[in-house]
Amino acid sequence: MNKKRVYIAGHRGMVGSAIYRQLSEREDIELVVRSREQLNLLDTRAVNEFFASEQLDEIYLAAAKVGGIMANNTYPSDFIYENMMMENNIIHAAHSFNVQKLLFLGSSCIYPKFAEQPIKESELLQGTLEPTNEPYAIAKIAGIKLCESYNRQYGRDYRSVMPTNLYGQNDNFHLHNSHVIPALLRRFHDAVYRNDKTVVVWGSGKPMREFLHVDDMAAASIHVMELDDEVWQEQTNPMLSHVNVGTGEDCTIRELADTIAKVVGFQGEIKFDPSKPDGTPRKLLDVSRLRKLGWHHEIALEQGLILTYRWFLDNQHQFRGE
């Protein structure tokens, strides 16, 4: 049996590692991976040399520089430069070395701050972005347009998936540079450990967010990558080659904090700090196209939080001293 040689860029990250775990169970696939030490994706020459030495059939582009509101506000140049360089290098090398199939992982922050809810794929570039993560969003939009452009000009099959807020195993639990779920899980965990009576949560608690477990995201990514061309083309076109990935359900940050407190076992008071930024008021994806393509999420939020907290407890030695 001829195995497909599949390269996962970013296989140590949260999404990339989940895709790696699921594809590693397949007998028809030979996975190709490189660590950051082995291959610097910001180095164009190194990326081209890697592609020249490997006969790749498919690419999952899951490599990215990611972070929460504070990280995006503090390091805007890093976020736009590094993400655009990685995308440019990998997508162009894929074309140059005749890799026909590629899946680019974007982000729901590509959509306008005040997009009509739930957000359809057609909302892209229809309004102003959320200022706190605009550089990152622009980099991800550029990745989508790169894929669309190679499809239009060269007939490539480069698809893009736009996940909602992700969480789960291998998430970043850094005290200052993490997203809302790992940040709150760690904050509530530390409060229980120290026997604190109060936990302070950034913002008003009113914004609404949608959350998807990373194992569901990996399953959706593989599903989209492996869809027959006819099925994919029915739901997309050369100017709209991205599809939303989410649950189609959301909750307030206050509800999320209450659920995390329950999962962790915190029984004290939860206070909200409205002097801190809320970000986008609501961000719920319209996932009707993905459902027409035959995929639906399986992991409910509380179940996913329990799984994530168990993983944190098993790996918390990694986060000490931050």
The answer to whether residue 317 is domain-embedded is no
Tell me if 189 is assigned to some domain: yes
**CATH number, position 280:** 3.40.50.720
Question: What is the total count of domains within the chain?
Answer: 1
| 35 in any annotated domain | yes
Of residues 60, 111, 136, 309, which has the active-site annotation? Answer: 136
Residue 102 is assigned to a ligand binding site: no
187 annotated as belonging to a binding site for a ligand: yes
320 domain-assigned: no
Among 193, 165, 230, 224, which residue's Cα sits nearest to residue 312? Answer: 193
140 marked as binding residue: yes
Tell whether 221 is covered by a domain.
yes
| CB-based burial label for 221 (10 Å; 0-12, 13-18, 19+) | buried
Taking the C-alpha atoms of residue 164 and residue 217, their distance in angstroms, rounded to an integer, is 9
Give yes or no: 154 in active site.
Answer: no
Q: 163 labelled as ligand-binding?
A: yes
According to the annotation, is 15 in a ligand binding site?
yes
One DSSP character per residue, 128-148 reads PPPGGGHHHHHHHHHHHHHHH
Residue 321 counted as domain residue? no
Residue 233, in any domain of the structure: yes
So what's the pLDDT on residue 238? 66
pLDDT tens per residue across all 322 residues of the chain: 789 999 999 999 999 999 999 999 999 999 999 999 999 999 999 999 999 999 999 999 999 988 766 777 788 899 999 999 999 999 999 999 999 999 999 999 899 988 999 999 999 999 999 888 899 999 999 999 999 999 999 999 999 999 999 999 999 887 776 788 999 999 999 999 999 999 999 899 999 999 999 999 999 999 999 999 888 988 777 667 899 999 999 999 999 999 999 999 999 999 999 998 887 788 899 999 999 999 999 999 999 999 999 999 999 877 654 5
143 HSE (CA, 13 A, CB side)? 33
For residue 22, the enclosing domain spans: 2-312
Residue 107 annotated as binding site: yes
Determine if residue 209 is labeled as part of a ligand binding site.
yes
> What does the pLDDT read at residue 302?
97
319 in a structural domain: no
35/21 Cα distance (integer angstroms)? 16
Dihedral sign from CA coordinates of 232, 159, 225, 6: positive
